[in-house]
C-alpha cells in the first residue's frame, strides 16, 4: 500500500494512481466480480477501509488494463512523462518505491544541472516484508472461503516443494 508514499512524494512532482483489478482472494463477503456495479462497490469499500486518497481507476470486467501490465495481484509500475516504463515490480514494496523515486529525483536534478544522461537497462532483486498474521486478517475480510482456498493452495505448494519466496504475506 503506497498511500503514505503518495502523501510524501506527490508534492515532489509525482502522480500516484491505484488501478482496481479482479479480486485476488474472492470470498463470501467480497466475491469475484460479475458486474461493474459490484466492482465499483468493492473499489469503494477498499477506498474506505484503506483511506485511499489516490485516484482509483477501475479496470473493466475483462481485466483489459490488468492483462496489459502482467495480470499479477499487486504490481507497481512507474511511467515517465514520455510514456515509457521506468520501473516495474511484481509485488509492491514502499521502501523499494521510495528508493526509486529518490533515484528519479536525483536524475531530474542532474539534468537540471546540465548533465547529459542516457537511459540504460538494469534489474535488481527486491525484498518485501512478509506478515502472515496481517495477510490472514486480509483473507478473513473477504470471507471464510478465501481463507480455505489459500490454505489449500499453500498445502499444494508445500507438497510440490515450492520455494518460500512464492508465499504471499
Partner 1 sequence: MIEQQEIEEYNYSVFEGKEDFTGFRTLLQVGSPAPDFPATLLETGETVKLSDYWHKQDVVIEFGSHT
For position 112 contacting partner 1 by CB under 8 A, the verdict is: no
For position 126 contacting partner 1 by CB under 8 A, the verdict is: no
User: Cα(162)–Cα(146) distance, rounded to whole angstroms?
Assistant: 20
For position 86 contacting partner 1 by CB under 8 A, the verdict is: yes
For position 75 contacting partner 1 by CB under 8 A, the verdict is: yes
For position 127 contacting partner 1 by CB under 8 A, the verdict is: no
CB 103 to partner 1: min, Å = 11
Q: Is the Cβ of residue 16 or residue 169 nearer to partner 1 in the bound state?
A: 16
Q: Is the Cβ of residue 149 or residue 169 nearer to partner 1 in the bound state?
A: 149
Residues 6 or more apart whose Cβ sits within 8 Å of residue 33: 22, 23, 39, 42, 61
Q: Which of 4, 7, 72, 137 binds partner 1 (CB under 8 A)?
A: 72
User: Cα(138)–Cα(143) distance, rounded to whole angstroms?
Assistant: 9
User: Cα(105)–Cα(10) distance, rounded to whole angstroms?
Assistant: 12
Q: Are 18 and 3 in contact (CB under 8 A)?
A: no
Q: How far lies 76's CA from each of 28, 71, 154, in Å? A: 28, 12, 24
For position 135 contacting partner 1 by CB under 8 A, the verdict is: no
52-71 positions binding partner 1, by CB under 8 A? 54-71
Q: Which of 7, 90, 106, 132 binds partner 1 (CB under 8 A)?
A: 90
Amino acid at each position: 500500500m503506497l498511500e503514505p508514499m503518495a502523501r510524501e512524494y506527490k508534492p515532489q512532482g509525482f502522480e500516484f494512481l491505484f488501478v482496481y483489478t479482479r479480486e485476488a482472494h474472492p470470498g463470501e463477503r467480497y466475491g469475484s466480480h460479475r458486474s461493474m456495479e459490484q466492482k465499483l462497490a468493492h473499489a469503494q469499500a477498499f477506498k474506505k477501509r484503506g483511506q485511499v486518497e489516490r485516484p482509483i481507476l477501475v479496470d473493466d470486467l475483462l481485466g483489459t488494463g490488468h492483462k496489459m501490465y502482467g495480470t499479477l495481484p499487486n504490481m507497481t509500475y512507474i511511467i515517465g512523462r514520455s510514456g515509457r516504463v521506468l520501473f516495474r515490480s511484481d509485488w509492491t514494496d514502499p521502501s523499494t518505491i521510495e528508493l526509486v523515486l529518490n533515484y528519479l529525483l536525483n536524475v531530474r536534478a542532474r539534468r537540471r544541472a546540465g548533465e547529459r544522461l542516457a537511459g540504460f537497462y538494469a534489474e535488481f532483486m527486491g525484498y518485501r516484508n512478509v506478515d502472515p498474521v496481517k495477510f490472514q486478517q486480509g483473507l478473513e475480510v473477504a470471507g471464510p472461503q478465501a481463507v480455505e482456498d489459500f490454505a489449500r493452495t499453500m498445502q499444494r505448494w508445500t507438497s510440490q516443494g515450492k520455494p518460500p519466496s512464492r508465499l504471499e504475506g
